[in-house]
Amino acid sequence: MFQLRKIASFDEPELAPYRSMRRPTEHAKQGIFVAEGDKVVQRLLQDQRFGIVSVVLPPDRVEEFTPLFAARKEDFEVFVAERSFLNELVGFHLYQGVLAIGKIPAPPALATVIANSPRPLLLCAADGLTNSENVGALVRNCAAFGTHAVLIGETCASPWLRRAVRSSMGTVFQLPVVETTSLATTLRELRASGVHIVAADAHVDGHTLTQGKFTGDCCLVMGSEGTGIRPEILEVCDEAVAIPMPPTVDSLNVTSATSVFLYEANRQRGLM
């Protein structure tokens, strides 16, 4: 059951997660994340698999969100305050004025994800993506193109950072996201089980995207825009392919490149 509560002071202890939004390590230690914006908060509230800690929003949005609050099973507080107050509370301008604190779910086991996924598998792994917005957008692209799971390497930003969750538009709630402690080890295990590992490498010569093998169980590996995929990760991959581009263009943004690669994977599978 939800309880409406007007915010009386910035110092209320229940508001601490909103005051510390610029200190994400504190949220990680508490096992919580921030959902920001109408669609992201709506999708969080609609998914009963994710626990809700609290919500903040302005008075003119309460009626709109009440049916979603009422459908939840757990007890949580809905803090209500004017936008100017909320902007001051979080320390930046809130365009839509709606925020929620959710509980980070227990990480899914990759073996379980694979066992519960249809064949052929389509996985996507990220290496060295330190920009949280790129991580979130990559997750969104993966959801759009039917990827069964996303593997986030140890050199990547967390998919549960506020900007990552926002950039994913809430698709991080829908798609299994596995954070690995060693991406190289995880890829070796996948390869040993028969999964074909394909590296997206802008610097490979003569082996272009359409020559990549995506029809069977496969995992696409995307790397940092600046340095690309780490050498130790490339060594694990079965093949490296590139999007053909003119010499005047070095590479695409990683999220744009991911869309191109996943479209080709779906085309080869007869889904596009």
pLDDT for 193-202, tens place per residue? 999 999 999 8
Same-domain pairing of 247 and 264 = yes
Looking at the structure, tell me whether residues 95 and 159 fall in a common domain: no
> Is residue 21 predicted with pLDDT exceeding 90?
no
Contact partners, residue 250, CB within 8 Å, separation at least 6: 202
Whether pLDDT at 206 is above 80: no
Q: In terms of residue numbers, what domain contains 230?
A: 110-268
pLDDT in tens, 60-109: 999 999 999 999 999 999 999 998 888 888 888 777 889 999 999 998 99
Mean pLDDT of 31-42: 96
pLDDT number for residue 203: 79
Q: At which of 103, 118, 152 does a domain end?
A: 103
Number of domains in the chain: 2
Tell me which of 61, 80, 103 is where a domain ends.
103
Please indicate, yes or no, whether residues 59 and 134 belong to a single structural domain of this protein. no
- Is 98 in the same domain as 232? no
Let me know whether 120 and 63 are in one domain: no
Same domain, 148 and 253: yes
